[in-house]
Structure 1
Amino acid sequence: MKQITKLKEPNSLLQHRAQQFAAFDNIPNATKEELKENLLSEQGHICCYCMRRIPENSSPYMKVEHYKCQEHFQDLQLDYRNLLGACTGNEGHPKKLQTCDTQKSSETLTINPLNTNPSCETLFKFNSEGEMSSISDDEAVDRQINTVLNLNMQSLKDARKEVYYVVQERIRAESKRTKNDKPSFVRFLNQELQVWQSKTEGKYRPYCLVAIYYLTKKLKSN
């Protein structure tokens, strides 16, 4: 779950919210499309929860997620800070295969990609099998990962495992190349970390937090 820094909300959403009887369900299509583009831009075209890529032509592949659900927080249904961009989460498939907003439904989360103190990025760890878990073995966080959002579904674990392996192999190769040259190796780690933390053409790499976690851990040990 990559930390999200919210941009200025679209003017069209602000104007819609000012209308009498405005609700999320009666947002004009053009306003919803602009909203989606804003959400994608600030999130670097990855899902707010699982970090999979959301394609450029977002509408068929994206949902506007209400962090605090509409069912219980009607007053926040048009609050821009409550709106996130989520993948479709295997909507229409069996429940055990659903993820993210589709799996979450009206459940309440405490882990929030907008949080900065602490950053949501500091709450998670990843192992070589792509499994995601609480870095402090917090049962509440693990429940949200596994039950509420189903972020350890096998296909997501496989995707994260691939990122873990790619980064691990690059580090191993560089470690051999810079043997006995610790400053060069540390410089490489920092450069790799910068790549995974940064957007390229407005996009983060899918599952980027796996690499960020692994590289940060390596830097601390060097």
Structure 2
Amino acid sequence: MLQIHKQAEPEEVIAWKALENEDWQPSYANLAGAPRKALRKALVLEQGGVCCYCNRAIAGPLNAIEEGEFHIEHLQPQSIFPSLELSYQNLHASCFKSESVKGPKHCGPAKGNWFDGHLLLSPMQDLTERFKYLDDGTIEAMDNDEPARVMIVKLKLDSEKLNEARFDELVGVMTPEFIKTATRAEFEKVYRACFTRTNGLYKPFAVAIAQNLKTFLDRFP
């Protein structure tokens, strides 16, 4: 997982919260209109256009980034932590909710109201060494890491759909010709690009690609 570095809460949301009075209190349920649109856009921008959990692309061009296929995810569920329902630090952008068109749920929708303070890994942590991405697109917990294993199960990060999507991205970058002919400098260039945004967006499944590139880099003297 790419590490998320939270940015400043959108001014539109701060102003909306400031409207609180004796007759009206802000809540996630009544977050709508411009404040909600600003929040969605801010979350995706700080994540580089990828899901906070699986890192698949969830948004397109920046001028329409808030209209992508994602929902606002509460890392600590609203049902358990109602006081955090509008805490910006608790909000992220995760994959779509619907499974009727896009296939079985994964990531935030699969996680639902599950919470375990000892096992839940936050995407705001550096988790790049806690998950292992294989060259066939599958994912494993690194070195019997129990929280990572549980996250894979609870968020269905090993779903067939995600495995296939990761594999497609891997073979799109690491073609047989590239692997056969690329120099160390060329491998390093592509590796660095995995952690560099292009027009504000990360490449989907960047960590998975980077891990696999590193296995080839390590073979160079």
- The TM-score with structure 2 as length reference comes to 0.85
> C-alpha separation between the residues in 2 aligned to 1:176 and 1:167?
13
User: Are the equivalent residues in 2 in contact too, given 1:89–1:100 (CA < 8 A)?
Assistant: no
Determine which structure has the larger helix proportion and give its number.
1
Task: Judge which range, 13-22 or 23-32, deviates more.
Answer: 13-22
- AA at the equivalent of 2:150: R
Partner of 2:26: 22
How do 1:44-193 residues align onto structure 2 when only pairs under 5 Å count? 44-56=48-60, 57=64, 58-59=66-67, 61-92=69-100, 97-108=104-115, 110-115=120-125, 119-146=126-153, 148-169=154-175, 173-174=177-178, 176-177=180-181, 185-193=183-191
Runs of 4+ in structure 1 deviating by more than 4 angstroms, as ranges, are none
Instruction: Kindly indicate whether residue 19 of structure 2 is the aligned counterpart of residue 11 of structure 1.
Output: no
Distance (Å, rounded) in 2 between the aligned partners of 1:97 and 1:173: 34
The residue type paired with residue 86 of structure 2 is L
Are 2:40 and 1:42 aligned?
Answer: no
| Percentage identity across paired residues of the two chains | 26
1:209 aligns with 207
Cα distance, 1:60 vs. partner?
6.2
Give the AA of the match of 2:166.
R
Check conservation: 1:134, 1:142, Cα contact below 8 A: yes
- Compute the RMSD of aligned alpha carbons: 2.2
Is contact 1:91-1:102 (8 Å) kept?
A: no
How many equivalent pairs are there?
209
Q: 1:182 is matched with which residue?
A: none
Secondary structure (helix, strand or coil) at the match of 1:136 reads helix
Counterpart of 1:33, as a letter, is K
Contact 1:100 1:151 in 2 (8 A): yes
Query: What's the CA shift for 1:16?
Result: 2.6
Counterpart amino acid of residue 216 in structure 1 = K
User: Which residue type is aligned with residue 27 of structure 1?
Assistant: L
Contact 1:65 1:86 in 2 (8 A): yes
Letter aligned with residue 211 of structure 2: Y
State the Cα distance separating 1:84 from its structure 2 match.
0.2
Q: Unpaired segments of 5 or more residues in structure 2?
A: none
> Any idea what SS the aligned residue of 1:12 has?
helix
**Do the aligned residues in 2 keep the contact of 1:90 with 1:99 (CA within 8 Å)?**
no
Whether the 8 Å contact between 1:49 and 1:100 is mirrored in structure 2 is yes
Normalising by structure 1, we get a TM-score of 0.85
Cα distance in 2 for partners of 1:175, 1:126 equals 18
Q: Is the 8 A contact 2:58 2:68 kept in 1?
A: no
Shift of 1:93: 6.9
**1:129, 1:157 within 8 Å by CA — same for their partners in 2?**
yes
Secondary structure (helix, strand or coil) at the match of 1:64 reads: strand
Return 20-29 or 66-75, whichever deviates more.
Answer: 20-29
